Amino acid sequence: MTPTGSRRGIVRLAAAAAVVAAWPCPLRAQAPPAPSETHWFLRNWTRIESWHFFEPNPGGGDPDYTDVANRLQVGVERHTPHIDVMGALQYVQFVGLPSDATGPGALGTGALYFDQGGGSDSHHLYLRYLTGRVDVHIGGGIQMFTGAFG
């Protein structure tokens, strides 16, 4: 192929690309924004832990115990086309934590929970999370996330 033939091939390819690019395409309408939605939720987890460790040295703690833990979560999610807000409260409770399950270190997680809670039954209510998202369309799209994440 001569240099002139090569140029003709490039020109033909460019012309074909221009025709394809200029080909009329039906315009699609933008999808309507999603409707606003609010979802409430309630979740509950309960577990029973039973521990049996080796016999500790004399003066050590009680290696055998059973405790119950419960976690209750209630929250709401609000979704709109440009703003989302989500939040949840959580209530945690332990029952039957061992007061004497410390020997050569903690004898299971119950001993650690007792140490942190300061009693054989521990309960707390706290904010699990509160988040927000704002979708701002200024020459492209900017999304901002803010909140307390737990």
Calpha distance 103→88 (Å, rounded): 38
Overall pTM > 0.75: no
Q: How confident is the model at residue 70 (pLDDT cuts 50, 70, 90)?
A: very high
Q: Calculate the alpha carbon distances from 94 to 41, 61, 110 in Å.
A: 22, 20, 9
Residue 14 maps to a domain? no
Residue 96 lies in domain = 29-149
In terms of DSSP bridges, do strands 64-79 and 83-95 run parallel, antiparallel, or are they unpaired?
antiparallel
Calpha distance 93→48 (Å, rounded): 12
Q: How many domains does the chain have?
A: 1
Q: How many CA within 13 A on the CB side of residue 76?
A: 4
Percent of the chain with pLDDT over 90: 24
Residue 6 maps to a domain? no
Residue 43 maps to a domain? yes
pLDDT tens profile 83-133: 889 999 999 988 888 887 777 777 777 777 777 777 777 788 999 999 888
Residue 104 maps to a domain? yes
